[in-house]
């Protein structure tokens, strides 16, 4: 009876029996920001989900970019991002941004692991008066805290499976594995033949005409250019479809995938492919303007002049002798 009571007391006294206590850590950084990170657990098991909060206190002189904070864009390997929530509020000293990251752990090695650093982008509100093409985004890097990793697996386990005794088969049973190997060989040969025929059909199939594809993109873009740029929503839609259509147009012209390239990456690819300096600079300038405007979150109200300039530059790009004569 005493041994039973002693075992129960030891179980309930273990630090791993109950949920871990929360941890909060102040992050030293720029004097303009007060950054605090918060974990709702100090240790996790494989498969556990936990919340990682980043709290930033700042003044009204800054504005954070929140459009790029989503489950698809945030990468905190080896932790899996389950959900990303943002909340803007006010406090006694100014404004407060709360980023709530729901993470999952699938590591099995015991010990402590640091959560990767997290980067927030912001603009100075005073820069919004100089124009979209001159507003520069700055970054605030938040180093991740450490969290304990727990596992029931033994350290340095060579084999986590139980030993299995192999029992010999009767000679008559070998007919089934032989038949299985024959069927697998027939299936492999048949799959190889079908793959070879598929490749031949693909090679024989004529691809789309590059000139016709470029003309279709050019006509599609021209049909969606508004006559006036007085409406901010119209300007925003114009920048979005112009950015996508220009990259699709350049994909046919350069014969490379361009949909995932940024303005700087596009500049490097065009220089590598020996495009003219004037065309390269004009393409990079248009893409940089579109990217900046799309991520400004309507921070600049007057886009009319910028939209007209972008429309004129895209017309020059799509009617360039270098591109059309290619």
In a domain, 169, yes or no: no
Query: Are residues 141 and 224 located together in one domain of the fold?
Result: no
Residues 6+ apart with CB under 8 A from 118: 54, 74, 76, 99, 101, 141, 142, 144
Query: Are residues 144 and 21 located together in one domain of the fold?
Result: yes
Q: Say if residues 298 and 67 touch (Cβ distance below 8 Å).
A: no
Query: Which residue in this structure is represented by tokens 């709360």?
Result: 98
DSSP for 186-238?
HHHHHHHHHHHHHHHHHHHSPPPPHHHHHHHHHHHHHHT--S---SHHHHHHH
pLDDT: which is higher, 196 or 302: 196
* Of the residues 108, 128, 149, the one at which a domain ends: 149
Query: Are residues 145 and 214 located together in one domain of the fold?
Result: no
In a domain, 157, yes or no: no
Query: Are residues 45 and 134 located together in one domain of the fold?
Result: yes
- CATH at 125: 2.60.40
pLDDT given at position 259: 84
DSSP for 129-142?
GS-GGG---EEEEE
- Please indicate, yes or no, whether the overall pTM of this predicted structure exceeds 0.85: no
In a domain, 160, yes or no: no
* Of the residues 124, 149, 174, the one at which a domain ends: 149
* Of the residues 102, 130, 149, the one at which a domain ends: 149
Rg (CA), the chain: 30
Taking residues 38-60, what's their average pLDDT?
Answer: 89
pLDDT in tens, 216-247: 888 888 888 887 877 778 888 888 888 888 88
pLDDT in tens, 129-145: 554 445 677 888 889 89
Residues of the domain holding 48 = 17-149
In a domain, 261, yes or no: yes
Query: Are residues 224 and 313 located together in one domain of the fold?
Result: yes
Percent of the chain with pLDDT over 90: 10
Query: Are residues 138 and 215 located together in one domain of the fold?
Result: no
DSSP for 98-113?
EEEEEEE----S-EEE
pLDDT: which is higher, 99 or 8: 99
pLDDT in tens, 287-310: 888 888 777 655 444 577 888 888
Number of domains present in the structure of the chain: 2
In a domain, 6, yes or no: no
Query: Are residues 145 and 22 located together in one domain of the fold?
Result: yes
pLDDT given at position 27: 58
């Amino acid at each position: 009876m005493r041994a039973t009571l002693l075992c129960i007391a030891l179980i309930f006294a273990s630090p791993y029996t109950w949920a871990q206590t929360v941890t909060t850590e102040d992050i030293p950084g720029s004097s303009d920001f007060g950054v605090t990170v918060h974990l709702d657990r100090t240790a996790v098991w494989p498969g556990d989900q936990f919340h990682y909060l980043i709290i930033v206190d700042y003044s009204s002189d800054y504005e954070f970019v929140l459009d790029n904070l989503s489950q698809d864009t945030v990468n905190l390997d080896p932790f899996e991002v389950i959900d990303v929530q943002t909340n803007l509020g006010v406090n006694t000293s100014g404004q407060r941004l709360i980023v709530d990251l729901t993470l999952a752990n699938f590591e099995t090695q015991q010990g402590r692991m640091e959560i990767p650093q997290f980067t927030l982008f912001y603009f100075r509100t005073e820069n919004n008066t100089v124009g979209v093409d001159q507003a520069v985004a700055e970054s605030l890097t938040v180093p991740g805290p450490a969290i304990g990793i727990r596992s029931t697996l033994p350290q340095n386990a060579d084999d986590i499976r139980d030993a299995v005794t192999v029992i010999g088969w009767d000679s008559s049973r070998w007919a089934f594995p032989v038949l299985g190997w024959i069927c697998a060989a027939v299936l492999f040969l048949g799959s190889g033949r079908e793959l070879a025929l598929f490749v031949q059909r693909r090679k024989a199939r004529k691809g789309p005409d590059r000139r016709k594809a470029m003309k279709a993109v050019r006509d599609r873009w021209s049909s969606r250019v508004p006559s006036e740029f007085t409406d901010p929503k119209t300007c925003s839609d114009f920048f979005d479809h112009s950015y996508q259509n220009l990259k699709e147009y350049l994909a046919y012209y350069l014969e490379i995938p361009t949909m995932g390239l940024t303005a700087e990456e596009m500049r490097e690819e065009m220089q590598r492919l020996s495009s003219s300096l004037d065309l390269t600079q004009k393409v990079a300038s248009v893409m940089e303007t579109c990217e900046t405007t799309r991520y400004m979150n309507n921070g600049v109200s007057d886009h009319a002049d910028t939209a007209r300039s972008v429309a004129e530059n895209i017309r020059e790009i799509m009617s360039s002798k270098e591109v059309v004569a290619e």
